[in-house]
Amino acid sequence: MMKTLSALCLVVLVSSSALAAEAVKPSPKINYADNLLMNSKIAKRLEAMDSEEASLALQEARALLEQAKSAHNSGQKAEGSSLSSEALKKFTQAAKLLPKSESALKVLRKRYIELDVEIASYLEWYYSAPYVSGDEREAISKAKSEVADAHALFDNGKYEAANNILTRVLDDVVLMTNRSMTSTEIVSSLDFETPKQEHKYELARNNEYKRLIPIAEQQKAPKGGKLMLFKRFVKKAESIRAQADSELGSGNVELAIETLQNSTDQYLKALRMVGIR
């Protein structure tokens, strides 16, 4: 009888131990968060960084991680997982406060210049356009103000913030230009004083449709023969555009204008191919 009871107790103890082990089975997600927040190079850089904001963010992330561990070890796995997600999110926010490497800064500065030049090319056309509506003048004034804000941020080394503003401004200006270029009332009233002025208009129009190509391909995701035809139109548009650039370089502005229009027509065909009118 005693042997039977002892055996039964042993079974109960083994079963209880197995259940306990199951209850505290390590969480891969929490382990990953623990390694990242405690031992990673990013964590060490944050620890060494002379920034109260970064230090506080790291502390908050680690506090959330400890809460996640405690919840998980208490059997509240869902709560532990949720808290570990919050810890990782807070750590990501902290990591954004780290100074960027010189190579990353170089990319940001290059992007800033590209955005600034592109916006300027659109606004320049409006400055010389024979007709600009009241709404457009208001939008241009707003764009100029925001570009000035971006310039100030850039001068203070806040390249990412500056690029965010310029990206938004470019989208607004492109949208405004697209509306202007598709307005029959405005287009029909255009009376260019010189061929160069007309060339600027056609170039901006061509750039606008070219800009839409990768967006259309991503959103519409054409397949098979439709994709092949889409790419054929785009390739032809680019080839004709190169020809127009060559003609402009040779001083034949009027021919370059006509060629640019042909290039734009090919971009339009590509967009219509995937259902954009």
Identify the pLDDT of residue 11: 46
Identify the pLDDT of residue 101: 64
Coil, strand or helix at 74:
coil
Identify the pLDDT of residue 118: 79
The CA-atom distances, in angstroms, between 161 and each of 23, 99, 122, 158, 164 are: 46, 14, 22, 6, 5
Identify the pLDDT of residue 130: 55
**Could you tell me which residues come within 8 angstroms of residue 220 by beta carbon, excluding any fewer than 6 positions away?**
274, 275, 276
Distance separating alpha carbons of residues 180 and 191, to the nearest angstrom: 15
Mean pLDDT by 10 residues, the chain (277 residues): 48 47 71 89 82 86 93 90 90 78 78 85 68 80 92 88 90 73 48 85 88 83 83 94 94 94 91 77
Identify the pLDDT of residue 152: 93
Identify the pLDDT of residue 206: 92
Spatial contact of 196 and 253, defined as CB atoms under 8 Å apart = yes
Identify the pLDDT of residue 12: 46
Which residue is it, tokens 């042993």?
Answer: 10
Identify the pLDDT of residue 131: 63
Identify the pLDDT of residue 129: 59
Spatial contact of 39 and 47, defined as CB atoms under 8 Å apart = no
